[in-house]
Amino acid sequence: MGMFKIMTKDMGIDLGTANTLIYIKDSGIVLNEPSVIAFDKRSGKVLAVGLEAKNMIGKAPTNIEVVRPLRDGVISDFDRTADMLTKFIEKVVSSNKVKNFRVVVGVPSGVTDVEKRAVNEVVRQLGASEVYILEEPMAAAIGAGLDVDSSNACMIADIGGGTSDIAIIALGGIVASSSIRYAGDKFNEAIINYMRKRHALAIGERTAEQLKMKIGCAELPVDEDGNEIIETTKASGRDLISGLPKTIEVSNKDMMLALQESVEVIVDGVKTTIEKAPPEVAADIANNGMMLSGGGGLVRGLDHVISKATGLKVTTAENAFEAVAAGTGMSLNDIEKLKIYATSVRRG
């Protein structure tokens, strides 16, 4: 956005474990940054947020603490979440204190009322007069362009950083859902563990994430003749035997093996959600298929693996990474419908 700051009020926030996105009404997504904050342990002063803070992970001196204040899709550090969100909003909204504005926040479908109140409290501290808590699969479905108001049910799996939220939606409501605290972060952990066991190489979270994004896959791609396509990249870390820095070649086959268990958990979550649905709704899903969204939904081959396991047609949202944020913002266009979709919490 540069120096330009927006004077408008209503906003949608995807307060994600891995990334925070902010959607301003009539302007679209204006911020997309890692959900990370760095502060001085002695003074408590915030030193950096977002990408700048993420670049400090694993490199900060002892006086600087770098934290991700959301874990498994929920607030684990209330004060730091508030600090981080304040800094993000200051980046995109005019410093003139805006009052009486509405905010829609996307949260995982499995969060408790206590966790919803925590989110609400953080946002209210920023001056919002109305806060709507919208479950992420509903927000993702709206953002991805699915018709959530139709009697013809649709299904979405939003695979974020902390949670995978799978839901079947009809008539403006969630008919069946599963929220699994198993998503992008667990994918990274699985890659770290695999590299230790298979290659005796200790790598950090950032390296694991880069490997996942470069060559991560749920199944190996094949060429026109059905031969597997092997892709490789370099990974650097610490050799567990010598203790010295080491760089090795890693393949997409390594990543497939590393992610195998995680992918099975996601597939099981999809099956469980379908089993919870009434027969008429399940029939709609058999016809309509399901959609993947979220950063984890972009893992190559995941759509094919789910399709093979369930028999459903599986597509990936064009705006997979931004679908929740887009949905929180788009839902502000019709407040009456939003009141049906979401939990409204007004200031007393």
- Signed CA dihedral, 41, 47, 48, 52: sign only: negative
> What's the one-letter identity of residue 185?
D
Contacts of 43 (CB under 8 A, 6+ apart): none
Average pLDDT of adjacent 10-residue blocks, the chain of 348 residues = 51 93 92 96 95 92 94 86 90 68 88 86 86 94 96 97 95 94 94 98 94 96 93 97 97 97 97 95 95 96 97 97 96 91 63
Question: pLDDT at position 119, please?
Answer: 87
Q: Which CATH architecture has domain 11-140+323-346?
A: 2-Layer Sandwich (3.30)
Is 152-182+262-321 assigned to CATH 3.10.20.600?
no
d(CA 107, CA 345) in angstroms, rounded, equals: 14
11-140+323-346 and 184-259: identical CATH topology: no
Q: Which CATH superfamily is domain 184-259 in?
A: ATPase, substrate binding domain, subdomain 4 (3.90.640.10)
pLDDT digits (tens, 9 = 90+) for 97-142: 556 789 999 988 878 888 888 889 888 888 888 999 999 999 999 9
> What's the one-letter identity of residue 324?
V
**What's the Cα-to-Cα distance from 120 to each of 109, 115, 130, rounded to whole Å?**
15, 9, 9
**Which residues in the chain belong to E strands, given as ranges?**
11-15, 19-24, 28-34, 37-40, 46-49, 64-67, 70-71, 74-75, 101-107, 128-135, 154-159, 164-170, 173-180, 201-202, 232-239, 245-251, 290-293, 314-316, 343-346
Whole-prediction pTM value? 0.90
Listed by start position, the domains of the chain span: 11-140+323-346, 152-182+262-321, 184-259
Question: pLDDT at position 5, please?
Answer: 47
